[in-house]
Structure 1
Amino acid sequence: MIDWNVARSTARRLMRPGPELSGAEVQDVVAELREASRVAEGPVREFTGLVPAYPTPVLVVDRPRWADANLASFEVLLRPLDAKLTAEGKMPTGLPGAVGSRVTGAEFGAIVAFLGGKVLGQFDPFAEGEAGPGRLLLVAPNIVHVERELDVDPSDFRRWVCLHEETHRAQFTAVPWMRDHMLAKVDEMMQATDIGGGAVTGMVTEALPELVRIVRGESDKSLSDLFQNEQQRAIVDQITGMMSLLEGHADVVMDDIGPDIVPSVAEIRRKFTKRRGSGSALSKVVRRLLGYEAKMRQYSDGAKFVRSVTDQVGKDGFDAVWAEASHLPTRAEIADPRSWVARVHG
């Protein structure tokens, strides 16, 4: 379905260069990010109560290596869809299949290239390691670019970023079912894919008016929203609830722990939040189409959920979210924390 070699070469070709750094500066940034990750690990564990079950590597990477890592994970995640289409005889073969896979590879690579200039860090739960699954990626050029753009203390900003990413590492390595649950939801999404007959044509016809609204900024949807069937929308609602929880929880942790190890945390948060809403008109359109704007709302909506639930039932009551998958909030419960408290705590 996707030519991954084309995707990788396209991503690398379209990837914008990062800030100019000398060899010595690169070494300093890499060393400080690794140290910042180490410094953040203990406070995150103490604050959250999430103790990782096994160690995972911390990789400080450039933009092309981040793209390669994410394309490798996407390739793993999309294998069930490939298998489904092949089993149903819907996978194009011969010349049409070869051309189609190269086109989708180029499209996928272009999307990853766009995102590769924006991601500061990421815990990849799908990579297999010697001790267990997962690895933490810190994208050095993006971190340097943003700290310069915001004009904030570099050491403070690097620790602040690492607080967020270390929280994600704890969420996936301390909660034993989290990774498998996410994989299961992605697999459900793939199995619910309806390709063939008039399915695609019908979806495109119905999607065109909404696509215009997205470009104009009149809709909260993204391109992926337009091409989901009812079953997939229900699954996406569950995934959105989970991701809003994880991102919001990480934001709460980084801001609440921040004052202890990041002296300028208030200035960083203020400037960073302002930056999230900025950008050129074209950039904003692309972000809306790719769902990047919706991703940004997960941080704020999730953080409000975490704080509201903690205010209502305390930290121990909030920690019920880690007990089992059925305790994860839905998309609707993220917006209405009291309904989650009522469902889980009675």
Structure 2
Amino acid sequence: MSQEPQPHDQPRDQWRKMLESMLGPEGAQEALEALEASGVDLEQLAASGVLDNPAQVQAAIAQMQQVLSADDGGRTRWRFAHDVARQVAHTGGDPMVTAAEAAKARSIMSTADLWLDVATELPPAPGAVRAVSRAEWVEAALPALRTVAEPVGTSVAAALSTTLAQQFGDEIAPPTALPMGGMDLPAMMTGLGELSFAMQVGQAAGTLAREVFGATDTGLPLADEGRLFVPANVAEFAHGLDAPEDEVWHFLAVRETAHARLFAHVPWLRSHLYGAVEAYARGIEIDLGQLEESLRDIDPTNVDQLRDALSGGIFAQHRTEAQSRALKRLETALALVEGWVEEVTAQAVAPHLPHAVPLREMLRRRRAAGGPAEDTFRTLVGLELRPRRAREAARLWQLLAADRGVEARDEAWSQLDLMPTAADLDDPAAFVRGGAASEVSGDLETELAKILGRDPKAGDSPDTPDTPDTPDTPDSAESGDPGPQAP
């Protein structure tokens, strides 16, 4: 990048300047690279004299217009995002996974399953173990990241289009005067907003690919099934630690495997987590007043002024009560997942890894400091996927296993109604005592039913109708709304 531009680079620079007027410097660079990755040969266009031919330049702009206005369910703009993500993942190098690394990952994951068999009642997860490069991680994770982020991008683009239409109306110049040919300004800005947001997701996915170890570092399952392992990132993380690299591999493999077991055998958990994220995204409200104020004194036909206005923080997202409830559900669920994985991993590796305790603490600090997942989602949707109460959750699972056994601890995941709530994390010991009391009460009722000659499974007689109390769940107790239901 620091080299002097060569003559054949000059047409590319001219394209860059044109795109910078619409997308800004970073967006223009990403758009150029994405265009080239999708098959547009800028050098060939330059050699053909396209930049000297206004009609051909207009045709090229029309191609960008087609991208912005494509009504294909987002496939076009997300193809751009995919290309950007892979390019970012490749930045600084993306070593291919060797056959030896792939074999090592499969062997260590197999060992992780053996260690976990004595630490949890949940059986091994189905699916293959895949040791992947950073770019391959993008391929596996980008669809899930799109699911999380796309509703926000749609809200942002719609708000921009609505505000422009209300603000300027007939004052907008005729379409022929606009830089994108036949598109009216609101439609153009909607397309640019959606494209820009998708490319931000691509940038974020590429950044994540350079730091994650597997499919579950964000707390959300980003692969459909199986387990992922990124050897290049594991090696970088292990470098400089006071623990052998082999121990680091084993420790991280057990964590990934524990996550995989949980998501594979708790059928409601995936939808519960994604449902909370989607509820948060649906509640996003763009401050139209602030947006209108930012656009009040600009020329709507001047794309440079539009871009400067859009970069001024006009999408300040105000958290609503519904969002706060969704966020509380999500934080509680993430903490319970992280706490369970921490506790199970600690039990599984304790007899085998001398550095298990410092490795556990290092992972805790990494999450608490705000790793790539937190930065990514905070930037994109104003959402921090940080298990703030993971320590309390780990303590709760530890006490539950000590008091009632590993089977009872894992049985708590069988139903959403049985899960601890945020209030339970305030006093884990009280949750354990309450569960034990319920068990005793249940046993007493069973014995009493036998004495009275009733079937303990039949419930009360018709003349003593049963009116069960509704149990508190993470959704009902914390949000006041039913939340996502178990599939």
Cα distance in 2, alignment partners of residues 194 and 335 from structure 1 = 31
Q: Which residue, 393, 417, 438 being the options, matches 1:326?
A: 417
Work out which structure has the larger RCO, using CA pairs closer than 8 Å and 6 or more positions apart in sequence: 1
Q: Which runs of 5+ in 1 are unaligned?
A: 128-132, 203-223
Q: Which residue, 269, 273, 285 being the options, matches 1:178?
A: 269
Map 1:155-166 onto structure 2 (within 5 A): 155-166=246-257
Alpha-carbon distance, 1:343 to partner: 6.2
Structure 1 counterpart SS, 2:351: helix
Corresponding position of 2:191 = 98
Structure 1 counterpart SS, 2:229: strand
Q: More helix per residue: 1 or 2?
A: 1
Between 73-82 and 244-253, the greater mean CA deviation after superposition: 73-82
Which string of whole-angstrom CA distances, capped at 9 and with x for unpartnered residues, describes residues 260-282 of structure 1? 333442454455556667799xx
Alpha-carbon distance, 1:167 to partner: 0.6
Q: RMSD over aligned Cα, in angstroms?
A: 4.1
Q: Which runs of 5+ in 2 are unaligned?
A: 1-72, 162-185, 294-314, 439-487
Cα distance in 2, alignment partners of residues 333 and 200 from structure 1 = 42
Number of residue pairs the alignment of both structures matches: 311
User: Is 1:153 equivalent to 2:244 in the alignment?
Assistant: yes
Corresponding position of 1:65 = 136
Report the TM-score, using the length of structure 2 for normalisation.
Answer: 0.54
Corresponding position of 2:329 = 238
- The 8 Å contact of residues 45 and 170 in structure 1, kept in 2 or not, is answered as no
Corresponding position of 1:26 = 98
Alpha-carbon distance, 1:120 to partner: 1.3
Q: Say if 1:331 and 1:115 are closer, same or farther in 2 by CA, change over 3 A.
A: farther
Cα distance in 2, alignment partners of residues 36 and 179 from structure 1 = 26
- The 8 Å contact of residues 213 and 252 in structure 2, kept in 1 or not, is answered as yes
Q: Say if 1:104 and 1:287 are closer, same or farther in 2 by CA, change over 3 A.
A: closer
- The 8 Å contact of residues 242 and 329 in structure 1, kept in 2 or not, is answered as no
Q: Which residue, 215, 239, 243 being the options, matches 1:122?
A: 215
Corresponding position of 1:9 = 83
Alpha-carbon distance, 1:318 to partner: 2.5
Cα distance in 2, alignment partners of residues 65 and 182 from structure 1 = 24
Corresponding position of 1:208 = none
Cα distance in 1, alignment partners of residues 240 and 425 from structure 2 = 32
Q: Say if 1:62 and 1:308 are closer, same or farther in 2 by CA, change over 3 A.
A: same
- The 8 Å contact of residues 396 and 429 in structure 2, kept in 1 or not, is answered as no
Corresponding position of 1:262 = 353
Amino acid at match of 1:67: V
Amino acid at match of 1:109: G
- The 8 Å contact of residues 237 and 330 in structure 1, kept in 2 or not, is answered as no
Structure 2 counterpart SS, 1:261: coil
Structure 1 counterpart SS, 2:127: coil
Alpha-carbon distance, 1:312 to partner: 4.7
- The 8 Å contact of residues 59 and 138 in structure 1, kept in 2 or not, is answered as yes
Report the TM-score, using the length of structure 1 for normalisation.
Answer: 0.72
Corresponding position of 2:112 = 40
Cα distance in 2, alignment partners of residues 170 and 300 from structure 1 = 21
Which string of whole-angstrom CA distances, capped at 9 and with x for unpartnered residues, describes residues 36-80 of structure 1? 11111133133210025x622222112222223222112234567
